[in-house]
Amino acid sequence: MVAMRSQFDEVNVLASEENWAWPLALRDIFQPRGVNLLVADSPTDFLNVIRRKRIHTAIVDMDSEKAGGLATIKIIRMNYPLLPCLLLASAASGSLLETALRLDVFSVLDKPVNMSVLLQQLDRLFMKKYNSDIFAE
């Protein structure tokens, strides 16, 4: 496998900022791999971070009051159509899944997030998009 380290100076993942322990849980997965976690709490913040830094994937919380879930993904798609996105949802209805498919969301994960499943999805995403095994266990 080609390691992502040789392709990029740094690996950045942007995620919704939440009041629960979400950022801390992500850091436990990211830090050992040298992946930087950046957080945003609104669609505007997401765009501002993406404009300033090379982001490799965005993890958006559907239930976030500030980040706006699908609104954030729609705004990302308008400005950065190729940025891979993962969506977290506490209730993944059929209509939500259809919308996520139309918006080319890589994966929709149930909340509370099973960190093993998240890691598997990140591994799939980085292998497919970047030919990188950085999230392989």
pLDDT in tens, 85-124: 999 998 888 898 999 999 999 999 998 899 999 999 999 9
Residue 115 maps to a domain: yes
H/E element, 125: helix 115-130
Total domains, the chain: 1
User: Six-digit token pair at 44?
Assistant: 């505007």
What was the pLDDT predicted at 128? 96
Say which residue the tokens 């950085």 belong to: 134
Residue type, 98: E
How far is Cα 25 from Cα 45, in angstroms, rounded to an integer? 21
Q: b/e map of 117-128 (b: 16 or more CB within 10 Å)?
A: ebebbbbebbee
Mean pLDDT for the chain?
88
User: Six-digit token pair at 37?
Assistant: 């976690």
Tell me what the mean pLDDT of segment 70-83 comes to: 94
Strand runs labelled E in the chain: 11-16, 35-40, 57-61, 85-89, 107-110
Residue 105 maps to a domain: yes
Question: Which CATH number goes with the domain that contains 23?
Answer: 3.40.50.2300
Domain that holds residue 106: 4-130
Helices 70-79 & 43-52 angle (0-180, nearest 10): 30
Is pLDDT of 48 > 70? yes
What was the pLDDT predicted at 91? 83
Dihedral angle of Cα 51, 53, 55, 58, to the nearest 10 degrees:
-60
Residue type, 122: L
Residue 136 maps to a domain: no
Is pLDDT of 67 > 90? no
Residue 122 maps to a domain: yes
pTM of the full structure: 0.89
What was the pLDDT predicted at 1? 41
Task: List 59's β-bridge partners, or say none.
Answer: 15, 86
Tell me what the mean pLDDT of segment 21-39 comes to: 89
Residue 104 maps to a domain: yes
How far is Cα 125 from Cα 21, in angstroms, rounded to an integer? 23
Residue 135 maps to a domain: no
